[in-house]
Amino acid sequence: MSIQHLTVGNFDETISKGKVLVDFWADWCGPCKMVAPVIEELAAKYDGSVVVAKVDVDSEGALAGRYRVEGIPTVILFSDGVEARRFVGVQPKEIYESAL
Protein backbone atom coordinates (compact mmCIF):
# COMPACT_ATOMS: atom_id res chain seq x y z
CA MET A 1 0.00 0.00 0.00
CA SER A 2 1.30 3.47 -0.76
CA ILE A 3 2.05 6.07 1.88
CA GLN A 4 -1.06 7.49 3.51
CA HIS A 5 -1.34 11.20 4.15
CA LEU A 6 -3.07 11.63 7.48
CA THR A 7 -5.22 14.46 8.77
CA VAL A 8 -6.83 15.10 12.10
CA GLY A 9 -9.93 13.43 10.62
CA ASN A 10 -8.42 10.02 9.91
CA PHE A 11 -5.39 9.91 12.19
CA ASP A 12 -6.84 8.11 15.22
CA GLU A 13 -8.52 5.44 13.17
CA THR A 14 -5.42 4.79 11.08
CA ILE A 15 -3.06 4.33 14.00
CA SER A 16 -5.51 2.33 16.13
CA LYS A 17 -4.51 -1.13 14.88
CA GLY A 18 -1.17 -2.78 14.21
CA LYS A 19 2.12 -1.05 13.50
CA VAL A 20 1.91 2.39 11.94
CA LEU A 21 5.01 4.44 11.15
CA VAL A 22 4.22 8.16 10.90
CA ASP A 23 6.62 10.73 9.44
CA PHE A 24 5.88 14.28 10.64
CA TRP A 25 7.27 16.60 7.96
CA ALA A 26 6.86 19.93 6.20
CA ASP A 27 7.61 21.34 2.81
CA TRP A 28 9.92 24.03 4.19
CA CYS A 29 12.15 21.45 5.90
CA GLY A 30 15.35 20.41 4.08
CA PRO A 31 16.10 17.48 6.41
CA CYS A 32 12.59 16.09 5.79
CA LYS A 33 13.42 15.85 2.09
CA MET A 34 16.37 13.61 2.94
CA VAL A 35 14.20 11.27 5.00
CA ALA A 36 11.39 11.08 2.42
CA PRO A 37 12.99 8.44 0.15
CA VAL A 38 13.88 6.32 3.18
CA ILE A 39 10.26 6.38 4.32
CA GLU A 40 9.12 5.46 0.79
CA GLU A 41 11.49 2.51 0.73
CA LEU A 42 10.21 1.28 4.10
CA ALA A 43 6.62 1.60 2.88
CA ALA A 44 7.39 -0.66 -0.07
CA LYS A 45 9.49 -3.12 1.90
CA TYR A 46 7.05 -3.55 4.79
CA ASP A 47 3.91 -3.42 2.69
CA GLY A 48 1.32 -5.60 4.37
CA SER A 49 2.93 -5.64 7.82
CA VAL A 50 3.41 -1.93 8.62
CA VAL A 51 1.27 1.02 7.59
CA VAL A 52 3.47 3.94 6.62
CA ALA A 53 1.99 7.43 6.79
CA LYS A 54 2.92 11.09 6.75
CA VAL A 55 1.60 14.14 8.55
CA ASP A 56 2.21 17.61 7.14
CA VAL A 57 2.77 19.66 10.30
CA ASP A 58 1.95 22.83 8.39
CA SER A 59 -1.64 21.86 7.60
CA GLU A 60 -2.03 19.51 10.58
CA GLY A 61 -0.58 21.64 13.34
CA ALA A 62 -3.02 20.18 15.85
CA LEU A 63 -1.57 16.69 15.38
CA ALA A 64 1.97 18.01 15.69
CA GLY A 65 0.90 19.78 18.87
CA ARG A 66 -0.86 16.73 20.30
CA TYR A 67 2.28 14.62 19.90
CA ARG A 68 4.60 17.45 20.95
CA VAL A 69 6.54 17.38 17.70
CA GLU A 70 9.09 20.16 18.20
CA GLY A 71 11.60 19.33 15.51
CA ILE A 72 11.14 17.79 12.12
CA PRO A 73 11.51 15.24 10.76
CA THR A 74 10.05 13.31 13.69
CA VAL A 75 9.10 9.72 12.95
CA ILE A 76 6.85 7.93 15.43
CA LEU A 77 6.03 4.23 15.44
CA PHE A 78 2.58 3.50 16.86
CA SER A 79 1.62 0.03 17.97
CA ASP A 80 -2.15 -0.47 18.35
CA GLY A 81 -2.55 3.27 18.80
CA VAL A 82 0.16 3.68 21.40
CA GLU A 83 3.47 5.43 20.76
CA ALA A 84 6.15 2.73 20.81
CA ARG A 85 9.23 4.50 19.43
CA ARG A 86 10.15 8.02 18.42
CA PHE A 87 12.98 9.10 16.14
CA VAL A 88 13.87 12.77 16.05
CA GLY A 89 15.97 14.25 13.28
CA VAL A 90 17.49 12.58 10.26
CA GLN A 91 18.36 8.94 10.97
CA PRO A 92 19.94 6.21 8.84
CA LYS A 93 17.48 3.67 7.38
CA GLU A 94 18.74 0.93 9.71
CA ILE A 95 17.67 2.92 12.76
CA TYR A 96 14.05 3.17 11.62
CA GLU A 97 14.13 -0.43 10.49
CA SER A 98 15.35 -1.65 13.85
CA ALA A 99 11.95 -0.78 15.31
CA LEU A 100 9.81 -2.46 12.65
Partner 1 sequence: MYDIMIVGGGPAGLSAAITARQHGKDVVVITNDVTQSGLYKAEIIANYPGLPGISGKELSDKLTKHAADSGALLLKGQVSSMLAYEGAVNAAFGTEMLESKTAILATGVVQTSLLPGEEKFLGRGVSYCATCDGMLFRGRQVCAVCLTPEAEAEAAYLESIGCAVTRVYEKNLSINGEDKIESITAGGSEILCEGVFIFRRAIAPNLLLRGLEIKDGHIDTGRNCETTVPGVFAAGDCAGKPYQIAKAAGEGQVAALSAVDHIAKMEV
Nearer to partner 1, 80 or 83 (CB): 83
Active site residue 29: yes
H/E run at residue 39: helix 30-45
SS3 at position 100 = coil
| CA atoms of 37 and 59, how far apart (whole Å) | 21
Nearer to partner 1, 42 or 53 (CB): 42
Active site residue 93: no
What residues form DSSP beta bridges with 86? Answer: 76
Binding site for partner 1 (CB under 8 A): 26-35, 37-38, 57-58, 64, 68-72, 74, 88-93, 95
Entry field: residues in the chain: 100
Q: Which of 22, 32, 42, 57 is catalytic?
A: 32
Residues with catalytic function: 29, 32
